[in-house]
Amino acid sequence: MHSPLVTVEHVSHAFARGRDPAIQALQDVSFSVEQGEFVSLVGPSGCGKSTMLRLLAGLDTPSSGSLRIEGATPGQLLGAAGYMPQRDLLMPWRSVLDNTTVALEFAGVPRQEARERARALLPIFGLEGFERAHPATLSGGMRQRVSLLRTVLAGRRLLLLDEPFGALDAITRSDLHEWLAGVLAKLDATVILVTHDLEEAAFLSDRVYVMTDRPGRIAAAIAVPLPRPRSYELTTSPAFGEVRRELMTALREARRPLATAARLVG
């Protein structure tokens, strides 16, 4: 029987905070992701998007509900997916090149081969000439690109990307979008992307899940019925404009209580 690559069922998650009341981050979240699909999660700041990715990466266990990744042991998701956290975890004592090869080395790939594979991708990530630099000497956007390169190099079929393009300028970002779309089509990778950027979500995704304010719930699932990989010309087409509008409407609907409060105050 066919089953999706990722299945999230009725997941709720609360954080205990000592003497302060617990924070309910996620509430009854269900969604699934098919093999080869590109899915985005969008939603207001603090609605639990990063929490959702951490649960999928196996770094935390949900308070209730279940998460399944095809081929991974239930309850032991750690290592099943390539995970790029929102805050990069580069090792300050390692060079750019040696930061990107960490996962490969861990998987037993000989150091020299790992470095060669990383070196081949440096120009595409705009990091050529910086392979010996240390993270402290890079800009925020460069650190993000090192972190993204490291995640892609790890070679997992499922990638969990938490705002990977957040600190990039618009041009670099759109270059990387096009590049990522092309590479992923070849890799047959499955991606769950967290982003605040609706244009980015529309351009890259097959489907976008729109979340409510905390506690985060899925408010809408918006399909993007445009063939992938896409080129940037598409973003000026009426079909793309329609998707962007649909996303904006869904996000505003999901935030209605807050918007109403703002009107009352204003």
Cβ–Cβ under 8 Å, residues 90 and 143: yes
**C-beta of 29 vs 243, nearer to ligand ATP:** 29
**C-beta of 47 vs 198, nearer to ligand ATP:** 47
Alpha carbon distance 71, 8 (integer Å): 15
Least Å distance, CB 95 to ligand ATP, is 29
- Cβ density class 104-120: b for 16+ within 10 Å, e for less: beeeebeeeebbeebee
Residue choice 32, 35, 86, 172 for contact with Mg ion (CB under 5 A): 86
Q: Which does 15 bind (CB under 5 to 8 A by kind): Mg ion, ligand ATP, none?
A: ligand ATP
Please tell me whether residue 236 adopts helix, strand or coil conformation: helix
For 139, phi then psi, to 5°, come to: -80, 170
**C-beta of 32 vs 86, nearer to Mg ion:** 86
**C-beta of 35 vs 86, nearer to ligand ATP:** 86
Q: Which stretch binds Mg ion (CB under 5 A): 81-89, 118-126, 144-152, 172-180?
A: 81-89
Least Å distance, CB 206 to ligand ATP, is 21
Alpha carbon distance 197, 192 (integer Å): 14
Q: Does 174 bind Mg ion (CB under 5 A)?
A: no
Q: Which does 236 bind (CB under 5 to 8 A by kind): ligand ATP, Mg ion, none?
A: none
How many CB atoms within 10 Å of residue 91?
11
Q: Which does 45 bind (CB under 5 to 8 A by kind): Mg ion, ligand ATP, none?
A: ligand ATP
- The contact set with ligand ATP (CB under 6 A) reads 15, 17, 23, 25, 45-51, 86, 214
The letter for the amino acid at 217 is: R
Within 36-55, the residues that bind Mg ion by CB under 5 A are 50
Cβ–Cβ under 8 Å, residues 246 and 226: no
What residue spans of the chain are helical by DSSP H?
49-56, 96-100, 102-106, 111-121, 140-153, 170-187, 198-204, 238-254, 256-265
Least Å distance, CB 221 to ligand ATP, is 17
**C-beta of 49 vs 177, nearer to Mg ion:** 49
